[in-house]
Structure 1
Amino acid sequence: MVPSLNKSDEADNWLYLGEGNQNLVVAYKGDDPIYKGKVLRVIKNCKNKILSTQDSILFKKQFSEKVIQPLLGKEYVVPMFPVHTSVEFLQRLAFNVEPHRPAFRTDRQIVVDSPTSFFLDDLTQFWPNSPAMTFELKPKWGFKPDSSFIDMSNIIKKRTTCRFCMHSYLRCVPQNNFCPLDLYSMDQARVRKAVNVLLKETPLKKTLSVSINGKKVSLTSEIDPHLFSTFIEYNDDHNTLMQDILERVLLHDPILKILKNLQMNLDEIDVEGIHSLFQRNSDYFKLVTDDINNWVDVVSRYQRRLERKNNSINELDEQIQRIYEYILSMTFKDCSLMINVTPTVEGNNTSKIVTFSNGLSFQYDIRVIDTDLKSIDKIPFWFELDQSIVKHATENKFDKECY
């Protein structure tokens, strides 16, 4: 039986947790055992935009289960459970969360007549009876393109400087020595450098956040000793231990390698090649994005292409396939990792454990979130943004070399 949230006063038990472009998440703080340890994910929409239908909402669940899960692996995907939500409940929820939302997110509002939302496990309470430290990390793009479709005027810059660093330069974000290629490198010194920048030198709010037992930790000051003691009693530098934990987990787990390979393999011909295919063929085919069977077929064809090492794009169906693959690549370039860590003992019967020379051991779990399908209509926008990023870096002689 699908549960329901129908009464407006039920919204008072849900507290704002965070949001992305498409969804807003609230955590349950009431006493009903059905909802304890859960978060509710409600969809957002642009103002004055056509509202989502029941079928399109349930498509999100199918997309997670039948497309994202086979590509990432079941262990990294958070199960989604539908719940009926009334207009009264969502209107009250939207009113309650509005004061807590960051200003840059408020151009998109909760869809108050959405008939269905989703329950997910609250990943900040992954071990309900154990203390937990949670890192929410958006690792960004893990590779530099190497496609024959890249224009000769762009190719040197794209092969020298990564997309994240060029985009930061375009947006006038102060350069802080953080490069996502360091995170993805699996080299201990480079991963440590990236983690050190994110946690100690110049924290990037949109890239990394940390909480202990669900309470946010400030990355611009020393950790509150009392809050840290609710995670583990530790007499040395708390910030350094937090850095060591994140570094060790990222080196131990294969998730960044998985994401990097998906990003690269799904985007072999770069947005310059994709935009060309998209323009060239737009009059001859209809790209179907709301049929889950179509996306299941895209995944199967992609996996067969890798097995057979078939890189042909001569046929129309191969060109369509590459456009679909690129859309998937953009999802994996913009996803986030929820990394939960809890103190444990060495020898615990799990492979997800990291141990330090001082005898401390930590069990961890990683889930990938923010994996909704991107809009195929954004291809022209992505192309124009790509060209602006590279042009700005070239004209202003931004010569950072990313490895």
Structure 2
Amino acid sequence: MRLDSLDIEGLFPLYKRVEQHLHHFPKERSRLQVEGPYDEMFLEKLQKCPSEDDGSVEYATTKVHQYRAAMTAKDCSIMITLMPTAEENDDQQRSSSLTFRTFSFSVAVLDLDPKPFESVPRQLRLDQKVVNGYLRSSSGICPKTPQQREDCTLLFHPVRPAPLALLL
């Protein structure tokens, strides 16, 4: 499932819809889980968002939450520690021309604090600043129309994890 199916320009009108609703009904912040809790029910709601905009504040809120979750994931750090395990039997290693070494590992994910709901306008301003800076410095390299720019989208494909036993 892709959480940021809308870019910031597509998301911003949905953010404004939620912001306007919350201006008129501030007590709805809790029901819409603007500040959490970010529990299993919250995650289920993110996964069950309809693909078509029905004009509801619930749809808009879920899309904003999806975007915030994607931005949080994009901003986190992953720390991996590999430690060689204790040497096994030296005689066994000498008898083979190819030896494998095993490692123990530890993985930690840092900076998973959710991006604030109110960070969406700042993200839009940053995005516009980056695009404008690029357009000024690129001398016309980047296509000017949105249709042409769509062809320049960078795609990321899943990567298979490498085995933990490394050939030495």
- Shared topology, TM-score over 0.5? yes
1:345 CA displacement: 6.4
CA contact 1:289–1:295 (8 Å) conserved in 2: no
Q: Distance in 1 between matches of 2:112 and 2:9?
A: 23
Matched to 1:326, the amino acid is Y
Task: Give me the TM-score of the superposition, normalised by structure 2.
Answer: 0.63
Q: Distance in 2 between matches of 1:303 and 1:277?
A: 18
Q: SS of 2:138's equivalent?
A: coil
Q: Give ranges in structure 2 of 5+ residues lacking alignment.
A: 23-27, 89-97, 143-151, 156-168
Say if 2:61 is the partner of 1:320. yes
**1:89-113, Cα deviation, whole Å (9 max, x unpaired):** xxxxxxxxxxxxxxxxxxxxxxxxx
Equivalent residue for 2:10?
Answer: 273
CA contact 2:69–2:114 (8 Å) conserved in 1: yes
Q: Give ranges in structure 1 of 5+ residues lacking alignment.
A: 1-260, 348-356
1:323 CA displacement: 0.7
Runs of 4+ in 1 over 4 A off after TM superposition: 398-403
Q: Distance in 2 between matches of 1:290 and 1:344?
A: 44
Aligned partner of 2:34 among 289, 314, 339:
289
Higher strand share: 1
Equivalent residue for 1:385?
Answer: 126
1:338 CA displacement: 1.5
Q: Distance in 1 between matches of 2:6 and 2:67?
A: 9
1:318 CA displacement: 1.2
Matched to 1:289, the amino acid is V
CA contact 1:344–1:361 (8 Å) conserved in 2: yes
Aligned partner of 1:298 among 31, 37, 42:
42
CA contact 2:46–2:65 (8 Å) conserved in 1: no
Task: Show the 5 A alignment for 1:60-209.
Answer: none
Q: SS of 2:121's equivalent?
A: helix
Q: Distance in 1 between matches of 2:42 and 2:52?
A: 15
CA contact 1:344–1:363 (8 Å) conserved in 2: yes
1:384 CA displacement: 0.5
1:358 CA displacement: 4.9
1:346 CA displacement: 9.4
User: CA 1:302/1:281 → structure 2, altered by over 3 Å: closer, same or farther?
Assistant: closer
Q: Distance in 2 between matches of 1:365 and 1:330?
A: 24
Matched to 1:273, the amino acid is G
Equivalent residue for 1:329?
Answer: 70
Equivalent residue for 1:311?
Answer: 51
Matched to 1:371, the amino acid is L
1:267 CA displacement: 0.8
**1:13-60, Cα deviation, whole Å (9 max, x unpaired):** xxxxxxxxxxxxxxxxxxxxxxxxxxxxxxxxxxxxxxxxxxxxxxxx
Q: Distance in 2 between matches of 1:385 and 1:311?
A: 27
CA contact 1:298–1:324 (8 Å) conserved in 2: no
**1:91-137, Cα deviation, whole Å (9 max, x unpaired):** xxxxxxxxxxxxxxxxxxxxxxxxxxxxxxxxxxxxxxxxxxxxxxx
1:331 CA displacement: 1.0
